[in-house]
Structures are given as C-alpha cells and as structure tokens.
Amino acid sequence: MGMRAADEARAEAISAKIILIFKGKTMKRTKILLAGTVAALAFANVAHAQRGTDGDLKILFWQAVSTLNPYLSGGTKEIYSASLTIEPLARYDETGKLTPWLVTEIPTVDNGGVAKDMKSITWKLKPGVKWSDGSAFTAEDVVFTWQYCTAPDGGCAQKAQFEGITNVEAVDPLTVKVSFAEPKYYPYGAFVGAQQPIIQKAQFKDCVGAKAPGCTSANFGPIGTGPFVVKEFKPNDVITFTANANYRDAAKPAFASVTLKGGGDAASAARAVLETGEYDYAWNMQVEPEVLATMLKAGKGTLVTAFGTQVERINLNWTNPDPKLGDKRSTVEGGKHPALSDPAVRKALSIAIDRDIIDEAGYGEAGKPTCNIVPAPDAYVSTANDWCLKQDIEGANKLLDQAGWKKGADGIRAKDGVKLSFLYQTSTNSVRQGTQALVKDWWQQIGVASELRNVSASVFFGGDPASPDTFQKFYADVEMYTNNFDGTDPEKYLAEWLCNKIPSPANGWQGQNIPRYCNPEYDKIIAELSKTADLGKRAELAKKANDMLTAEGAHIPLIHRGQISSHSVKLSGVKMNAWDSELWNAADWSRKK
Amino acid sequence: MTDAVIDQPVTAKPEIETPSILFWRKFRKHKGGVAGLVVFALIVLIVYVGPFIHTIDPNKIDIRAKNQGPSWKHPFGTDNLGHDMLAQVMAGGQISLAVGLTAMLLALLLGTLVGVLSGYFRKLDGPLMRLTDLFLALPLLPLLLVIIMLFRDTLRAAFGPETGIFILIVFVIGVTSWMHTARIVRGDVLAVKSQEFIVAAKSSGMREHRIVLRHILPNVLSSIMVSATLGIAAAIITESALSFLGLGFPSDFPTWGRLLFDGANFLQLTPSRVFWPGLAISLTVLSVNYIGDAVRDALDPRTQAR
C-alpha cells in the first residue's frame, strides 16, 4: 500500500508539471472538441479531471499475459494488454466504425487518401504525437513496423495482415504511403486495429527477424504512444503500468497507474469484480449465466457485452480420421469421411440441435442462436439458412431414413457396415462440456452415437504440430470451438474455406480450412469477392459464400457469441468493443467519485 | 490356511480359534474400524444397489428442471443441465470407487514389491531406490500427457472408449503413486530384518521367500495399510484432476471428483451439487482410513500378546 501511495504522488507531480507546459495547447484542443458533438459530451465529464488523479486501475485477465509484443503472439490477452501502451493508426470504435487514432482522418477515395486504382493508401499522421520517452512519433516508425513484421525468419504473428503490400514509404515525417501489388478493395488491413500497433523504431531496430524473440526488454516493455507506460512486467503474472507523461491529451488518463493481474479462472475473475469488488475490470466472463446472476446480486459490478463476429460452431470432418490411416489421418489423401461425406447426415446433425436451449444453458445474454458463420456486421448477415434455428428431430430422423441409414439393435443407425458414431472433441470448459452433453442427447434421439472428449485449451489451441489433440489436426469426427474475424470485412475470413487452405502435414497443419471443405464453386465466389469494390455487391457475395458453407454442412453454426466482460460500478467510461481491444479507450476511463 | 496355524511361530500359545475368527475378534474391538466398515459397506451398497431403486438415468437431460433444490423426484436436486444429482452421485461413485480401489491395489503391489525387495536384499537396494527416486523426480503431468497420447487410441480401439480409459487411468495412477509406499516399506523392512526372530528363522534354514511372506510382511503390514488407505483418497483425487485436464474420463462419465469440480461454481446456487459428492469422498476416505487402522491393529503381531 505504501508503495502505491508513493507512486500516485509521483505521478501526480509529473502530471501537474505536464499540465503547466501544455496549458495553452489544451485550451485550444478543448475548443475544437467542444465543436464536435459526441466528443464534447465525453470530454465534459472529465473536463475538470487531471491526469493521474483516480489512483490505481485494477484489471484482471484470467489468462495470464506472456508478452507485450502482439507481433510475437496472436493471443487476445497479449493484444489487449499491449493496447494500453502501443496504438495503431486507426481503430474500430464500439459500433465497428473506423476511427482515426494516430492519424488525422480515415483515407478514402473521396478525400484522396486512397488511390483511384485502389493500389495505394496514404495515411496522414497527427502532428505532435510523442512516444512515451519524449521522442517524436514519425512516419519512419510506421515503415519500420511493416519491415519488422515482414522480415524473413521473423515469425510475425500478424504477417497475414501485411499480405499483398509491396511497399510502405515515408513520404514526409507525417505521411505514410502503403502500396499494394493488386488493387485492394478493402485497404484498411495494415496498421488498423489492436492487432497491428505501431512500435518504436529506435527501440526495436536491433530486434528484426530471427532476433525478435530474444529482445526481452523491448518485448516486455514496448515504448508506445498510448495512455500508459509499462513499469514492470512479470511474465504470466502481473504487469504494472503508470500514466504516460507524454500522452497527447494532457488531461488523460485519469488513472495514475494500472495493475493488470493474470491467472485464475473465469468464475473467480467474475467474483473478484462482481461480488467482492477487489478489481475494477475483468475480461472474458465465460461462465454459466445463472452463476453470473448470483454474483450480480452483490451489486458491486456490472456486465458489459458486445457482439462481434465470434461464432461457436461444430466443425464436421470431411476427411477420414480413422487411426488406422496413420499419417494420412484427417488429410485429403486419407479419403473421404465414411459417414459425414453424406449430405443427409450433415444436415440431420444440424437440425437435431436446439440452439435456444444451448444458448439458455450456457450463454444467456452473451449469446444468440445463429446459422451463419458471418454473424455481423448487419450488412453481411444472411437469413437464407434460418431453417436450422428450429429443432426438428422428426425431420432429421426422416432424412436419415431416406438416405438409407437404418437403426440397429442398439438404436444406432448404420449403412453398409458404417455406424453413425462420432468422436466429438472440444476444449475443456464447463460451458462447452454442457453443450456437448446436450448435443449428445439430441443426436442420440436421431440414432447417432457420440463419444465425448475434452482437451485442455492450451493443448487444443496450442498449435503444437507434435500433439495429436490440436484443433488443426482434427483427429476426431466433429469438434467444437469459437472463431471470429478481425475488423468488419469478412473477405479474409471467408477465404479460410478455400481448397488450398486445408491443413496437412505438408503445410505443418497450418491451413485454416479446418473442416477440409473443398468446393471449386466456393473458390470462385471468393475470387470474385476479392475483385469487387462495391460494398453492396461485396455483401451479396459474402452472404452467398456464408450460405453455401452452412447449407453444404462444412460446419454447424451454433451460437453467435458476444464478448462479455465485467467492470466495477465505480468505473466509468467503459465502452465495450468487440471489433478492437476491449481496453481501446482506457484513456477515457475514470473512477466515479 | 490350516498349516498357517501350525507354522505360525509368533503365536505364543495355541488357539482354538482359526486366524480369521481371531482377526475378526480383534477387529471388533476397534470401534472406529467397525463404524468405518459399516459406513463403507453402506456407501458401496448405495452406489451399486441404489440405481435399481432410484432408476433415473444419470445422463438424462431435462433442461426444464435445471438447478433444482432437493425434492422427492430429485432427492439431491439437479444440475444446470437438469441431470439428476442422486443418479449422478451413484454413477460417479461406481467409477470413483473402482478407480480408487484398483489403482490403490496396483500402487500397493508395486510399492510393497519394490520396498520389500530393496529392504531385504542388499544388492537390490541401490538400484531399486534410485529407480524410486527417478519416478519421484519425474514431472507427473508431462509424463501423463505422453502416456495418454501414446496409448489412448490403441486402448480405445482394443477395449472401447470406457474400458480403455479405465485401464489407462488405473494404470497411470498406479504407476505414478507407488513410490512413497516403497520407501516406507523399505524402511520398515530394514528395521524388522535385523531383529532376532528373523535371524532365528534364517538360521533354522527357512527359505528366503517364506521369511519375507511369514515374518517380514506381517510386521510391515501396518505401514502398508496406512499407505493403502491414503492411496484410495489420493487415487480418487488424482482421477478428478485428470478429468479436469481433459485427460481422464469423457465429460459425460460422472465421477465424484468431476461432480465436485463442476459444481464448485454453483456453490451458492445449488449447494447440494458440491455437498453430496464432497461428503461421499470424505466419508469414503475417512471410513477406509478407520478400517485400515483397525486392520493394522488386528494384524500386527506385536499386539497379539495383549
């Protein structure tokens, strides 16, 4: 406690000094902001606030953070925690709208920022932005960020976002031009969103390529332009931040420091915020709704939900996972799945499921039944597959009867010696195991047996090519997990189901086409999508692709999941964001007095 | 068994009673042991006979009747998917007891074997104890991961998912928990070995395996019994830890440990979800401990003179 008080005092002293220096500038900025509408309101609330007056902000991430360099880890927890420090050029706001962050405006064809041939985009940086060490933020840093992530042998986790970029150049210290090989009809990929923040050239210049993981001090304490500065980083434990003395808004952040604690589980994190009030904010409350309801009764905190693009789905394996196939298991070479290659089986499995009950039992407010793999934004949401929303056990039974799958003495359907008995795997999580039990019960009713298996999340999602239990290897008949896409444009995401993205030993199981779906017609739609600029036409094509995936049964979409987090009732300014980092506007957070 | 009486060299005066009656007479004197036996028998009875009286299928889902408190239809209430908790506790008990007892027996067998051999035969002492150290030093979880990764699919193909995973779990728990028993037994054997009656038995030309079986084992039985009772508890708990990591039984196989783990979040809402499996584990462990205590007292040759 003594230490924290001392920190606060110091931070206050620093902020007082800063306010004196920047007084003139703040006045001017106040005027500009007041001219704006929404921003004026937000500012008015904290107009009298000073930097660092609200003490320590305590955040709980029940998955501990292992690095603060999002380019070396694709993990959500790393990306979110790093977003307190390092920032991208533009962000998505809580409605999914692109918002300029370190730039003056969003480049478009109309304002000349995007070339008419769609082969380049030019960003204009905000003048006067400083790194937390006091040096100027320039276009060179943006160029360096691109070089850093695309360096050979670098193993950059966000490399896909820089695909198709031929050059990034600093036209002048405040202008960056990004050039593409092909016309890019959605050019807001690179440097947009929490996944690709700008890192400081001076700090990382010796950490390029194979040397990147070795630069511990830089990776654990990146210098940024954001509201907070890393003070101490204990991997997989606690991170402490202090307010950035050089932050561009002299009145922000309201908090003098941030303590971001990692570890535990979702339920205890929820308890720490909602019931005991020990923490101000906790991320990702994947806990049964009735448990949260009990905790909410204490009145210490509230839940915030935002619906992004997460969909809990059951992937059906189109290839044969039989262990007898050895190395050819779950690969295209191993042949088709003996039962799941029948479209009638795939459809019957889908309509046997009552998505409303799954939602009620496991998700509550944080979920909506869906039949789409692209559940948002609204322009891309299709209704063509809504037949699957209604459970139809009888219809499923009839479908299987017609397809020649006859019930045996044990009540399990079979055809030509192939039994409808599936290994159903997912990660270990009580909500997922509950869903497994429900689905098993419904499938039982249509004569389909299932064997449940749950794998520890760190193994299942770990991507270790040596483990047989990863979701990429898919050594099971069906598997369930959640996936989503970044930003608001689904093109890249829909391209995951292309024939050439099927995981196999040849590509180190790295493809994203987990169901091993392959349809040349689908590939054609995606090729067309990538060449279409008109937004209405894009939406149409995206819907067509989405419909095809569900109708053909590449997967069974279950629940459109919201991101659900909790914060103390005393914390104000939280704008839950599913399109960017949840902590995206932490500079605006303050404590209610 | 009859010549056992004649051979019994420690028995001071000839008894009319057979050893089993003698054992029972002594066991009965230990009140805690009798109570433990009654409770344990009751648990076994409920777990195995109960499902014939309370006939709800433990895996039957009735989502409309979720999170219910105790009622006549569901005496232990229901969980968040509408599973009947009494049926789940009974089904879980069958698995937990079977795993606990079998794994304990395996660990005991291995531990006693290694302990007696290394305590009695000087030449084997070094290598066997280093082996024990090796097993103690092995990081348990990575080892389990490897074992399960290597053998899961083979066993699943050979015995089916349920029996396959049962064999695997019993084996894994047994093979990784015999070391403490081995060390304790070795220590006891070393102490007993140097006593006069062993020297007497040796000088009378008794074969070594008979010395071990007749004289050493009864004298170290007390510590074996204590290990055994602790072993059951440890096995039940290890099994639940494995299930939690997704390495144990599939999630639709209730075991006491898993029920306890799943129910923990619902402690405020439906306390019976945690109470009953928790009580079952505690009572089982406690009663087995008392039984072990009484059996030790009854078998210990040193208490025979009393």
Q: What is the CATH number of the domain that holds B106?
A: 1.10.3720.10
Contact (CB<8Å) B252/A287: no
| Residues whose CB falls within 8 Å of the CB of residue B55, separated by 6 or more in sequence, listed in order | none
* Chain B CB within 8 Å of residue A412 CB: no
Q: Which of A38-52, A415-429, B74-88, B94-108 has the lowest mean pLDDT?
A: A38-52
Pick the closest to residue A79 from A428, A579, A554, A423 (CA basis). Answer: A579
For A562-583, what is the mean pLDDT? 91
* Chain B CB within 8 Å of residue A456 CB: yes
* Chain B CB within 8 Å of residue A462 CB: no
Q: Which of A48-52, A362-366, A429-433 has the lowest mean pLDDT?
A: A48-52
| Residue found by looking up tokens 């007390």 in the block | B222
Rounded CA gap, A224 and A247, in Å? 9
Quick one: pLDDT band at residue B2, thresholds 50, 70, 90?
very low
Interfacial A residues in 348-407 facing B (CB < 8 Å): 357, 360-361
**For residues A40 and A224, which has the higher predicted lDDT (pLDDT)?**
A224
Collect all residues of chain B within an 8 Å Cβ-Cβ radius of residue A327.
none
What global pTM score does this model have? 0.76
Q: How far is A352 from chain B (nearest CA, A)?
A: 15
Supply the pLDDT for residue A301.
93
Contact (CB<8Å) A430/B245: no
The pair of three-digit structure tokens given for residue A119, joined into one six-digit string: 């082969």
Q: At what angle do helices B217-244 and B179-193 cross, to 10 degrees?
A: 170
Would residue B35 count as lying in a domain?
no
From the list B145, B246, B252, which residue is nearest A437 (CB)?
B252
Supply the pLDDT for residue A391.
92
Which conformational region is residue A367 in: left (phi greater than 0), alpha (psi within -120 to 50 degrees), or beta? beta
Collect all residues of chain B within an 8 Å Cβ-Cβ radius of residue A433.
251, 262
Rounded CA gap, A142 and A87, in Å? 11
For A215-224, what is the mean pLDDT? 91
Quick one: pLDDT band at residue A341, thresholds 50, 70, 90?
very high
* Chain B CB within 8 Å of residue A147 CB: no
Contact (CB<8Å) A438/B63: yes
From the list B157, B246, B268, which residue is nearest A454 (CB)?
B246
Q: Name the closest residue on chain A to residue B262, using Cα atoms.
A: A430
pLDDT of A121 higher than 90? yes
Say how many domains are in chain B: 1
* Chain B CB within 8 Å of residue A499 CB: no
* Chain A CB within 8 Å of residue B67 CB: yes
Going by the DSSP 8-state scheme, the letter that residue A121 receives in this structure is: E
| Residues whose CB falls within 8 Å of the CB of residue A399, separated by 6 or more in sequence, listed in order | A344, A347, A348, A351
Quick one: pLDDT band at residue A28, thresholds 50, 70, 90?
very low
Quick one: pLDDT band at residue A133, thresholds 50, 70, 90?
very high
Would residue B125 count as lying in a domain?
yes
Collect all residues of chain A within an 8 Å Cβ-Cβ radius of residue B83.
437
Q: How far is A559 from chain B (nearest CA, A)?
A: 17
Q: How far is B285 from chain A (nearest CA, A)?
A: 27
| Residue found by looking up tokens 């639940």 in the block | B240
**For residues A467 and B109, which has the higher predicted lDDT (pLDDT)?**
B109
For A92-100, what is the mean pLDDT? 88
Contact (CB<8Å) A427/B265: no
B283 within 8 A of B289, measured Cβ to Cβ: no
Question: Which of B67, B80, B269 to mutate to test binding with chain A, by most A CBs within 10 Å of its CB?
Answer: B80
Q: How far is A433 from chain B (nearest CA, A)?
A: 6
Q: How far is A283 from chain B (nearest CA, A)?
A: 18
Q: How far is B106 from chain A (nearest CA, A)?
A: 26
Collect all residues of chain B within an 8 Å Cβ-Cβ radius of residue A434.
80-81
Helical residues (DSSP H) of A252-366, grouped into ranges: 266-274, 289-296, 343-351, 355-362
Q: Which of A82-86, A292-296, B2-6 has the lowest mean pLDDT?
A: B2-6
pLDDT of A526 higher than 60? yes
For B172-184, what is the mean pLDDT? 89
Neighbours of B87 (CB within 10 A): 23
- For all residues of chain A together, what is the average pLDDT? 86
Q: A455: buried, middle or exposed (CB in 10 Å: 19+, 13-18, 0-12)?
A: buried
Rounded CA gap, A103 and A190, in Å? 14
**In chain A, pLDDT over 90 holds for what percent of residues?**
52
Quick one: pLDDT band at residue A247, thresholds 50, 70, 90?
very high
Q: How far is B246 from chain A (nearest CA, A)?
A: 5
Supply the pLDDT for residue A548.
93
Pick the closest to residue A105 from A122, A124, A118, A120 (CA basis). Answer: A124
Neighbours of A53 (CB within 10 A): 21
* Chain A CB within 8 Å of residue B262 CB: yes
* Chain B CB within 8 Å of residue A276 CB: no
Q: Name the closest residue on chain B to residue A266, using Cα atoms.
A: B265
Supply the pLDDT for residue A26.
40
A281 within 8 A of A60, measured Cβ to Cβ: yes
Question: Which of B252, B260, B262 to mutate to test binding with chain A, by most A CBs within 10 Å of its CB?
Answer: B252
Pick the closest to residue A272 from A587, A540, A565 (CA basis). Answer: A565
Would residue B75 count as lying in a domain?
no
Q: What is the Cα gyration radius of chain B?
A: 23
Supply the pLDDT for residue B244.
65
Interfacial B residues in 105-164 facing A (CB < 8 Å): 145, 149, 153, 157, 161
From the list A290, A453, A455, which residue is nearest B269 (CB)?
A290
Would residue B297 count as lying in a domain?
no
| Residue found by looking up tokens 């040397």 in the block | A211
* Chain B CB within 8 Å of residue A451 CB: yes
The pair of three-digit structure tokens given for residue A269, joined into one six-digit string: 């994190």
Amino acid identity for residue A439 in this structure? V
Element (H, E) at A483: strand A478-483
A545 within 8 A of A275, measured Cβ to Cβ: no
Q: B39: buried, middle or exposed (CB in 10 Å: 19+, 13-18, 0-12)?
A: middle
Let me know how long chain B is: 306
Compute the count of residue pairs across chains A and B with CB atoms less than 8 Å apart.
68
* Chain B CB within 8 Å of residue A468 CB: yes
Q: Which of B94-103, B137-146, B284-293 has the lowest mean pLDDT?
A: B137-146
Contact (CB<8Å) A291/B153: no
Contact (CB<8Å) A440/B252: yes
Supply the pLDDT for residue A9.
38
From the list A323, A360, A427, which residue is nearest B153 (CB)?
A323
Quick one: pLDDT band at residue B246, thresholds 50, 70, 90?
low
Collect all residues of chain B within an 8 Å Cβ-Cβ radius of residue A357.
63
Rounded CA gap, B193 and B211, in Å? 10
For the stretch B155-168, what's the b/e string if a residue is b when 16 or more beta carbons lie within 10 angstroms of its beta carbon? bbeeeebeebbbeb
| Residues whose CB falls within 8 Å of the CB of residue B191, separated by 6 or more in sequence, listed in order | none
* Chain A CB within 8 Å of residue B269 CB: yes
Contact (CB<8Å) A287/B265: yes
- For all residues of chain B together, what is the average pLDDT? 84
**For residues B251 and A345, which has the higher predicted lDDT (pLDDT)?**
A345
Q: Name the closest residue on chain B to residue A422, using Cα atoms.
A: B161
| A149-156 LR contacts (CB < 8 Å, sep 24+) | A149/A71, A149/A196, A151/A208, A151/A209, A151/A212, A152/A209, A153/A209, A153/A210, A154/A208, A154/A209, A154/A210, A154/A212, A155/A72, A155/A212, A155/A213, A156/A71, A156/A72, A156/A212
| Residue found by looking up tokens 């089904």 in the block | B91
* Chain B CB within 8 Å of residue A472 CB: no
Amino acid identity for residue A592 in this structure? K
Supply the pLDDT for residue B10.
52
Q: At what angle do helices B85-120 and B272-299 cross, to 10 degrees?
A: 30
Whole-angstrom CA distances from A210 to A219, A237, A497, B36, B172 are 14, 26, 31, 64, 40
Supply the pLDDT for residue A567.
94
A374 within 8 A of A382, measured Cβ to Cβ: yes
Would residue B138 count as lying in a domain?
yes
Q: Name the closest residue on chain A to residue B245, using Cα atoms.
A: A456
Q: What is the pLDDT of residues B189-229, one digit of tens each?
A: 999 888 898 889 889 988 888 888 888 888 888 788 878 87
Domain that holds residue B213: 100-272
* Chain B CB within 8 Å of residue A452 CB: yes
- Termini Cα distance of chain A: 20
Q: How far is B266 from chain A (nearest CA, A)?
A: 6
pLDDT of A544 higher than 50? yes
Q: Name the closest residue on chain B to residue A295, using Cα atoms.
A: B268
**In chain A, pLDDT over 70 holds for what percent of residues?**
92
Q: What is the pLDDT of residues A313-331, one digit of tens each?
A: 999 999 999 888 888 899 9
Which conformational region is residue A505 in: left (phi greater than 0), alpha (psi within -120 to 50 degrees), or beta? alpha
Collect all residues of chain A within an 8 Å Cβ-Cβ radius of residue B67.
290
Would you state the torsion angle of the CA atoms of residues A570, A575, A576, A581, taken in this order, to the nearest 10 degrees?
A: -110
pLDDT of B59 higher than 70? yes
Would residue B2 count as lying in a domain?
no
A122 within 8 A of A107, measured Cβ to Cβ: yes
DSSP string, A198-252: ---HHHHTT--GGGGGG-HHHHHS---SSSEEEEEE-TTSEEEEEE-TT-SSTT-
Rounded CA gap, A586 and A574, in Å? 7
Q: How far is A265 from chain B (nearest CA, A)?
A: 11
Q: What is the pLDDT of residues B19-35, one digit of tens each?
A: 788 888 888 888 999 99
Quick one: pLDDT band at residue A32, thresholds 50, 70, 90?
very low
Q: Name the closest residue on chain B to residue A425, using Cα atoms.
A: B250
Would you state the torsion angle of the CA atoms of residues B109, B111, B117, B122, taken in this order, to the nearest 10 degrees?
A: 180
Rounded CA gap, A200 and A219, in Å? 11
* Chain A CB within 8 Å of residue B268 CB: yes
pLDDT of A557 higher than 90? yes
From the list B61, B265, B266, which residue is nearest A437 (CB)?
B61
Phi, psi angle pair for A259, to nearest 5°: -110, 115
Would residue B20 count as lying in a domain?
no
Would residue B31 count as lying in a domain?
no
For A465-481, what is the mean pLDDT? 89
Phi, psi angle pair for B163, to nearest 5°: -65, -40
Pick the closest to residue B215 from B298, B293, B302 (CA basis). Answer: B302
DSSP string, A58-99: EEEESSPP--S-TTS---HHHHHHHTTT---SEEE-TTS-EE
